[in-house]
Structure 1
Amino acid sequence: MPVMDQTHVEFVELLATVQQASDDDLVAHWQALVDHTEAHFAQEDRWMLATGFAPGSCHLTQHAVVLKVLKEGLTLGQQGQLPPIRQMAHELTLWFPHHAQTMDAGLALHLKSVGYDPVTGALSQPEALPAQAIHGCGGACGDEQKQAA
C-alpha cells in the first residue's frame, strides 16, 4: 500500500536521523520521531477500526505501548537523560522491521481484501468486512488464523 509504505519510509528516515544526531540535537530529533509515530499509528489505528478490528486487538495495543514508551523516552531526554533515547532508537531498529513485515503486512492484506481506500476512507467491498471484530493481529497471528485452521 503506497500510503503505508511512504509512512514507513518516513519513520525509518527519522529513526536514522535520531541515531546519527549529536547530543545537542538528539531530543529535537526524538521529538520529531515521536510526533511522526503518533500520527503514523493513529492513521493505521483509524484504518483498523474502520475495517473491523477490535479496539483491544494486539496491533492496536502494540501501537499504544510503543508510543507510550517513546513518550517516556522524550520525557527522560527533556530531563537531560540521553542514553535511554539512544537505547530506544536501537531497539526500534530491531522491532520495526518485524512489525512492518508481520502486523502491517497483515493489515495491508486485510485492507485490500475489504476494498478499503486509505486515502479516501471509501470501502468498496463492505460485504467482505469480518462478521466479528478482529481480536488478533490482522493476518499475522491471533484469532483469525485459528478460525481459518
Structure 2
Amino acid sequence: MPWDDAQSLGVADMDATHREFVEHVDALASADDSAFPALFLSLQEHTRLHFEHEGKLMKACRFPAIGEHNSEHLRVLGEFAHFARGVNAGRLTPARAYIQALPGWFATHLATMDAALAGCLKRSRGE
C-alpha cells in the first residue's frame, strides 16, 4: 500500500499522518517474524495518536459526524488491542491477516469519513 499523492486530502497535518500510517502498514506487510511484534505495537500506538489528533480536529471544526467517526476509530482501536494480545502471545498469523486487510479499510475510511473531515476543516479555516 505505497503512499499515493492522490490520497492527499489537502490538509497538511492529516496528510502527513496518513502518509506515516501507510509507511507503518507497508513495513509490517513485509516484516519477518522477529520484527513483526515491535512494528505491530508501533503501528498500534501511531494509530492511537492519529485518531486522538483527528478527534481534536473534529472538535475544532464542529464536525457534524463526530459520533460516527469516533465510533469507527474506537472499533479499529479495539481490533488492534485484540490482535496485539495475540501478537504478545506469539500468535502472528491473525495479526498478519489483519494488516493485509488494513489497506482496504484505509481507502474507504480516507475517501469517506476523513474526506468529510478535511472538507469541514477547510470550510472552518476559510479555504
Normalising TM by the smaller chain, what interval? 0.7 to 0.9
Q: What's the Cα RMSD here? A: 1.8
Which segment is superposed worse, 50-59 or 37-46?
50-59
Q: How does 1:13-24 map to 2 (within 5 A)?
A: 13-24=23-34
Larger of the two Rg values belongs to structure: 1
Q: Distance in 2 between matches of 1:25 and 1:47?
A: 33
> Displacement of 1:56 after TM fit?
6.2
Q: Does structure 1 conserve the Cα–Cα contact (< 8 Å) formed by 2:63 and 2:120? A: no
Of all paired residues, the percent bearing the same amino acid is 34
Q: How many residues align?
A: 117
The structure whose RCO (Cα within 8 Å, separation 6+) is larger is: 2
Structure with more of its chain in helix, by fraction: 2
The alignment status of 1:31 with 2:41, answered yes or no, reads yes
Structure 2 partner of 1:8: 18
List structure 1 runs of 4+ shifted beyond 2 angstroms: 53-56
| TM-score (structure 2 length as normaliser) | 0.86
Q: Answer yes or no: is the 8 Å Cα contact 2:55–2:70 preserved in 1.
A: yes
Unpaired runs of at least 5, structure 1: 116-123, 125-149
**What is the TM-score normalised by the length of structure 1?**
0.73
Residue 123 of structure 2: aligned partner: 113
CA contact (8 A) 1:11 1:37 kept: yes
Deviations 1:65-119 (A, max 9, x none): 101101211111000110111011011111001111111111000011111xxxx
What SS does structure 2 have at the residue aligned with 1:75?
helix
Partners of 1:9 and 1:111 lie apart in 2 by 19
